[in-house]
Amino acid sequence: MQRKALWLAAAGAMGVIGVAGCATMQSGPKEMTFFVTSVGPGKGGDLGGLEGADRHCQSLAQAAGAGHRTWRAYLSTQASALAGTDYVNARDRIGPGPWQNIKGERIARDVDELHSPGSGLNKQTAVDEKGQMVNGRTEKPNKHDILTGSRPDGTAFPGKPFPDMTCGNWTKGGNDGAAMTGHHDRVGPTDASWAVSWNAAHPTLGCSMEKIRPTGGDGLFYCFAAK
């Protein structure tokens, strides 16, 4: 009798744990805290600055049913002494985590895991706000170049006199300038760490859509719920 009582107690405890586990991995728009933009603003690297990029994230999230959260674009900016601006690290803009996509698939528990080999960001999990997969390197049109302007650890590149890696801090949409991109599908021409990086694979050829598309991009970027 005592053994049966102990078994029932253990089973009940496991049931509670199971329910709690399911609760942390619920899926749907309200639980979504990460997505890749299904479309960009349409002006290449000119996203209207960080503020415009954040608005774009918020607008897409709102349309998908997740507008109750505060959304931030995963983008860095470079310092400019001439303009009197300081740099911004993408990793500092997106909140503490954890993050999951609309399907309930975990991207990362926190900022450190996101930028570690344990990150869950890949082609299967890096879906857009509607839950649709984003075209990878082997698909046409290729859209795996995601704008980040960031180094592998999520920090900003130095400003002038170093090269532009943020399309003029996301205000340029012409052929000049460039922006660092990552491969959301973690696939590149080689297996080198840079080639399979989700946030720092290579820069674009310029900042217009005509210069972003040839290397496999469509002006898309990552959005994370900061709150």
1 SS3 class: coil
With respect to residue 118, please indicate whether it lies within any of the assigned structural domains. no
Total structural domains within the chain: 1
For residue 69, what are the domain limits?
39-94+132-221
User: For position 82, what pLDDT does the model report?
Assistant: 63
Contacts of 124 by beta carbon, 8 Å cutoff, 6+ apart:
105, 133
Mean pLDDT by groups of 10 residues along the chain of 227 residues = 39 37 65 98 97 98 97 96 80 98 98 97 98 97 98 96 96 97 96 95 98 97 96
pLDDT of residue 83: 58
Q: Residue 44 is encoded by which pair of tokens?
A: 């290449």
Q: What is the CATH number of the domain that holds 137?
A: 3.10.100
Looking at residue 134, its pLDDT comes to 98
Count of other CB atoms within 10 angstroms of residue 131: 16
pLDDT, position 204: 98
- pLDDT for res 77: 98
What one-letter code names the amino acid at 37? T
**SS (HEC) of 175-193:** CCCCEEEEECCCCCCCCCC
**109 in any annotated domain:** no
> What is the per-residue pLDDT for 80?
79
| β-sheet bridge partners, residue 145 | 183, 217
Q: How far apart are CA 45 and CA 65, in angstroms?
A: 27
